[in-house]
Amino acid sequence: MTARFLVVLDADSTLIRNEVIELIADEAGRGAEVAAATEAAMRGETDFATSLRSRVSALAGVPVAAFERVLARIEPTPGVRDLTAAVHARGGIVGVVSGGFHEILDELAPALGVDVWRANRLAVADGSVTGEVAGAIVDAQAKADQLAAWAAEHGVAPHRTIAIGDGANDLRMIAAAGLGLAFNAKPRVRAEAPLVVGTVDLAQVIPLLP
Ligand SMILES: [Mg+2]
């Protein structure tokens, strides 16, 4: 399928208002600790992959059945369905690339009008999270690489790509895209992105679509 253009969003604090890893950590009674570590990682104060492995280790023992409660707590960002509908109406496609988890995004993404998505996977044994990440970690470079791969796959020229994110691990895809947007973003991301959307409303992106 070829597309006129490609919009790639980050998931946590961009597509949705939450940080999913914090919601899963709540199920292990370690929400506050993981929230502090996530905040530091998103500000770019710690190496993403190292931080993610450490935070995921705090999730050990959470039953997969608890993901239903996590999903119920997720709040989509205002305007997200307006944005995905507008992209489709103009012949574009929507991707989400996340340092979060397929276990949640596989339910969430299609419901919000997302066409393609990629995230990390939590290792599971005997119906519970083991505390390890399964496979290669989706870090800042993996996000930028995925944007380029989707563009190539759908016949979209690099200058017709838009990347939207809030965290330090979004900066490489923001730099790689034709248009990079800091959205609901950490100070470093606001400082480095070409354009800043200050209002937490994804419909604000619609006038920027090609
Ligand atoms: Mg984020």
What is the per-residue pLDDT across 15-73, written as a single tens digit (0 to 9) for each? 999 999 999 999 999 999 999 999 999 999 999 999 999 999 999 999 999 999 999 99
**19 CA from centroid of ligand 1 (Å):** 7
Q: What is the pTM of this model?
A: 0.96
Are 16 and 103 a contacting pair, CB within 8 Å? no
Q: What CATH number corresponds to the domain at position 109?
A: 3.40.50.1000
Residue 136 lies in a domain: yes
Residue 147 lies in a domain: yes
**89 CA from centroid of ligand 1 (Å):** 26
**48 CA from centroid of ligand 1 (Å):** 12
**11 CA from centroid of ligand 1 (Å):** 6
Averaged pLDDT for residues 184-210: 96
Are 64 and 101 a contacting pair, CB within 8 Å? no
Among 54, 35, 195, 60, residue whose Cα is nearest residue 123? 60
Residue 1 lies in a domain: no
- Cα separation, 57 vs 17, whole angstroms: 23
Q: Say what percent of the chain tops pLDDT 90.
A: 99
Are 78 and 202 a contacting pair, CB within 8 Å? yes
What is the per-residue pLDDT across 72-130, written as a single tens digit (0 to 9) for each? 999 999 999 999 999 999 999 999 999 999 999 999 999 999 999 999 999 999 999 99
**What is the number of domains present in the chain?**
1
Residue 50 lies in a domain: yes
Residue 106 lies in a domain: yes
**182 CA from centroid of ligand 1 (Å):** 10
Q: Is 198 helix (H, G, I), strand (E, B) or coil?
A: coil
Phi-psi region of 148 (alpha: psi -120 to 50; beta: other; left: phi over 0): alpha
What is the per-residue pLDDT across 133-167, written as a single tens digit (0 to 9) for each? 999 999 999 999 999 999 999 999 999 999 999 99
> What per-residue confidence (pLDDT) applies to 1?
80
Q: Determine which one of 10, 26, 139, 166 is catalytic.
A: 10
Verify whether residue 10 is a known catalytic residue.
yes
What is the per-residue pLDDT across 162-174, written as a single tens digit (0 to 9) for each? 999 999 999 999 9
Give residue 106's domain range. Answer: 6-208
> Ligand 1 being an ion, which residues bring their Cβ within 5 A of it?
10, 12-13, 166-167
Residue 89 lies in a domain: yes
**4 CA from centroid of ligand 1 (Å):** 26
Verify whether residue 201 is a known catalytic residue.
no
Residue for token digits 């950490």? 186
Residue 200 lies in a domain: yes
Q: Determine which one of 12, 115, 139, 166 is catalytic.
A: 12
> What per-residue confidence (pLDDT) applies to 195?
96
- Cα separation, 145 vs 142, whole angstroms: 5
